[in-house]
Amino acid sequence: MKISSWNVNSVRARIENIIKYLKDSSPDVLMIQEIKTEDKNFPYEVIKDSGYESYVFGQKSYNGVAFLSKKKIDKINKNSFKDKYNQSRIIEANIENKSKEIKLINIYVPNGNPINTEKYEYKKIWLNTFIKEIKNKLMKNKNIIIGGDFNVIPEEIDVYNYKKYENDALFKLEIRKKFRELINLGFQDIYRFLNKEKTDYTFWDYMAGSWQKNYGMRIDHFLVSNSLLSQIKTVNINKKPRGKVKPSDHTPIEIEIS
């Protein structure tokens, strides 16, 4: 079973690239973030034509997350917790694999820049609330996969020039510590777990030729609970969609579970 996560930066602006990706990569479940639309304007039909059912937690203009799935998923939950501004940043579903019930959690963590503003405080509050929620969920089901745009650069190796980001909301030590706190509940950052020394990015800014220069950062992640680690066969950052015409600034990360 293949599960992917991709911040698409508008589902409607990206629909052709998304359809192409579904065809080329054929994930069983695709978690998308930043769909930037209300549910009523979501392109359900064209996605259904590609063989995928859509489960959407949208919002006008900003944020928004969704699952696209060709396998049966259920227990869709858009009310995991209410965040400070009522933003659509988390959706959950359950999927069965090898008689294990796995909880999939699709998140879009607040960016938090610039620091010394309410946006940064919001990011910290959001992460604290999320950590608390995950603690509770683990008591009910130890099989959890969290995927999405975490807006966290975990380590120096995960950004092209870490010195430029020491006071950035994506790399500030107190934010990275929260990421670590989450992992310490019983997860692995599966990309780093399976690639100890490798440099790979999931985001390249549209500006200043960042893609061409490979000025990127690894901020889209899959956290896999320890109970599932032995079943993860591969993890892959698929750079192809980032090189296409009219791309998202993020590219998908993919895992395969036996």
Partner DNA sequence: ATGGCTGAGCTACTCAGA
**Is 28 within 8 Å of 2 (Cβ atoms)?**
yes
The rounded distance, in Å, linking the Cα atoms of 18 and 231 is: 27
Subset of 118-157 contacting DNA (CB under 7 A): 119, 149, 151
Q: Which stretch binds DNA (CB under 7 A): 61-69, 94-102, 183-191, 228-236?
A: 61-69
Subset of 37-56 contacting DNA (CB under 7 A): 37-38, 41
Q: Does 203 bind DNA (CB under 7 A)?
A: yes
CB of 35 to DNA, least distance (A): 9
Q: Which stretch binds DNA (CB under 7 A): 7-15, 73-81, 191-199, 227-235?
A: 7-15
What's the token pair of residue 206? 């549209």
Q: Does 173 bind DNA (CB under 7 A)?
A: no
Q: List CB contacts of 145: < 8 A, sequence separation 6 or more.
A: 3, 102, 103, 104, 105, 222, 223, 224, 225, 228, 255
CB of 7 to DNA, least distance (A): 5
- Annotate 68-101 with b (16+ C-beta within 10 A) or e (fewer): bbeeebeeeeeebeebeeebbbbbbbbbebeeee
Q: Which stretch binds DNA (CB under 7 A): 94-102, 138-146, 178-186, 246-254?
A: 246-254
The rounded distance, in Å, linking the Cα atoms of 180 and 208 is: 31
What's the token pair of residue 158? 């995960």
**Could you list the residues that contact DNA (CB under 7 A)?**
7, 9-10, 12-13, 34, 36-38, 41, 60-63, 110-111, 113-114, 119, 149, 151, 170, 203, 205-208, 217, 219, 246, 249-250
